[in-house]
């Protein structure tokens, strides 16, 4: 029998307990920077070196981070569900925990591509990108990150997954950044939505929602246990 499709939408709160700071909990500053200076197309044109250095330090920080109990619990769900993780995070902690299917809406820190092209995309691991690092065609490399002001290429695929799921879990996202937040409106009418977040996102949910006011590392294993029991 086909497994039920369970989609998990994750945001910065998912990785907070792995030591990676969220964006909006720190007063609109991301590691001391105005998000628009370091994560936008304008920011790149204004000061590419600063943008590269910003992502280089995020990448170095990621190297020492480890998946938390929340990431690990989501892997367990694969025993009984067809799990699709849609993450706004640019870290690789879901993959390192062992999740099989992860869609990165906002790109990936451990990948690079040429400035003016969507591809090719290279794995760079935890290596820095510097001004002057070129591909074989002489194009400057940039992080494979979706900045403010850019299209979100994985949206179409993500929308399809949400529209065909039977359960939606939302973990650690403020749901203020679009188009990612709009995915929630695509959930089928009868599919339950579970939200794990110490603070409730200010979002007008359409369907039946259950809020679990807990951190990702505490709330996720609890809910996963419940969801696995529910189908056994
Ligand atoms: N466990 C679960 N949730 C948490 C935790 C935790 N330990 N700590 C904080 N949170 C919650 C906060 O309450 C908040 O609702 O995580 C959410 C983090 O929200 P944001 O910082 O806005 O992060 P996110 O929703 O992922 O931002 C979306 O904005 O800057 C862009 O591209 C960036 O992908 C990012 C997007």
Q: Are 68 and 18 in contact (CB under 8 A)?
A: yes
Whether residue 151 is predicted with pLDDT greater than 70 in this model: the reply is yes
The larger pLDDT score, comparing residue 2 to residue 224, is at 224
Pocket of ligand 1 contains residue 201 by CB under 6 Å: yes
Q: How far is CA 204 from the centre of its chain?
A: 21
Each residue's pLDDT tens digit, 8-58: 999 999 999 999 877 766 655 666 788 899 999 999 999 999 999 999 999
Burial class (CB in 10 A: 0-12, 13-18, 19+), 70: buried
Which of 15, 23, 74, 94 maximizes ligand 1 atoms within 8 Å of its Cβ, making it the mutation to test the pocket? 23
229 pLDDT tier (thresholds 50, 70, 90) = confident
Could you give the C-alpha distances from 39 to 52, 75, 175, 222, in angstroms and in order? 10, 30, 18, 34
CA 14–ligand 1 middle distance (angstroms) = 8
Of the listed 71, 94, 104, 106, which one is catalytic?
106
Range 172-200 average pLDDT: 95
| Closest-lying ligand 1 atom to the alpha carbon of residue 216 | 1
User: What SS3 class is residue 192?
Assistant: coil
Token couple for 100? 């099989």
Query: CA 230, CA 16: separation in Å to the nearest integer?
Result: 28
What does the pLDDT read at residue 211?
97
Whether residue 2 is predicted with pLDDT greater than 60 in this model: the reply is yes
Closest protein CA for atom 13 of ligand 1: 199
The full set of domains in the chain, from first to last, is: 1-20+67-106+148-232 (3.40.50.1220), 21-64+107-145 (3.30.1600.10)
The model's pTM is 0.95
Whether residue 129 is predicted with pLDDT greater than 90 in this model: the reply is yes
What does the pLDDT read at residue 206?
80
Mean pLDDT, the chain, rounded, equals: 94
What does the pLDDT read at residue 70?
98
């Amino acid at each position: 029998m086909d497994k039920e499709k369970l989609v998990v939408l994750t945001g910065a709160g998912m990785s907070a307990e792995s030591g990676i700071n969220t964006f909006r909990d720190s007063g609109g500053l991301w590691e001391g920077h105005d998000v628009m200076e370091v994560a936008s197309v304008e920011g790149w044109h204004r000061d590419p070196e600063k943008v590269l250095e910003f992502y280089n330090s995020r990448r170095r920080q990621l190297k020492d981070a480890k998946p938390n109990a929340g990431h690990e619990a989501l892997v367990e769900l694969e025993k009984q569900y067809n799990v699709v993780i849609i993450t706004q995070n640019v870290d690789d902690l879901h993959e390192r925990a062992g999740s099989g299917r992860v869609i990165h809406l906002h790109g990936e820190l451990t990948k690079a591509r040429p400035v003016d092209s969507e591809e090719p995309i290279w794995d760079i691991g935890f290596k820095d990108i510097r001004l002057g690092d070129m591909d074989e065609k002489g194009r400057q490399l940039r992080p494979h990150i979706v900045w403010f002001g850019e299209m979100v290429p994985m949206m179409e695929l993500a929308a399809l997954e949400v529209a065909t799921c039977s359960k939606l879990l939302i973990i650690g996202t403020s749901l203020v950044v679009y188009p990612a937040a709009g995915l929630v409106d695509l959930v089928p009418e009868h599919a339950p939505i579970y939200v794990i977040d110490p603070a409730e996102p200010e979002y007008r949910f359409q369907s039946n929602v259950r809020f679990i006011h807990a951190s990702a590392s505490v709330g996720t294993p609890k809910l996963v246990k419940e969801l696995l029991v529910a189908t056994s």
